[in-house]
Amino acid sequence: MEPEEVAELRTMFVFTPPHGQSWGLTFEGLEARLRERSPDTFIRVDDGGDGPVRGASMIFGITLDDEDLEGLARLEPEGVSVLDCNAHLAARFALWLRNNVAPADIPIMFNTEWGIEEGLERTLVPDATRPRIAAAFVAHIQETGGLDPDTVN
């Protein structure tokens, strides 16, 4: 597949602080940042009692480039994910996280659902422009292999 085609593939992107570091993420803080973007955004906090995700999590909606996406935040392990997302939208989300959620001195790491399935380690989100971040995400997706367009989402 060409990089432009890979960039449009959709998967879950997972963003975390580096191992042993913390963003000091709280559901209240993340909710405040999301509501600054859109006061009516969908937000739900689950205590983990009945669902596929064990432990407390926050599910939220976010609009990026006029597309409504769903996200998930967890405090343990600490991280924020955006579901069913392509590399361009994930790059925009990563920049939003960098500018609004993660402290300036703590980098953002990423992986994808496919990378996790393949046992790939988290990778540093480059301190770069959106196109360069998207290119790093495309390279990661290519590294996961198995890009048969009939078998990917």
- What residues contact 29, with CB distance under 8 A and at least 6 apart? 101
Q: Is the pTM of this model over 0.75?
A: yes
**Whole-number Cα distances in Å, 72 to 45, 61, 131, 142:** 10, 9, 24, 24
Cα-only R_g, the chain: 15
**Which of 96, 93, 73 lies closest to 27 in space, CA to CA?**
73
pLDDT computed for residue 56 by the predictor: 86
Separation of CA 98 from chain center: 12
Q: Where are the domains of the chain?
A: 9-48+55-143
Low-confidence ranges of the chain (pLDDT < 70): 48-55, 146-153
Write the single-letter amino acid at 147.
L
**Which of 94, 78, 81, 75 lies closest to 132 in space, CA to CA?**
94
* End-to-end CA separation in angstroms for the chain: 14
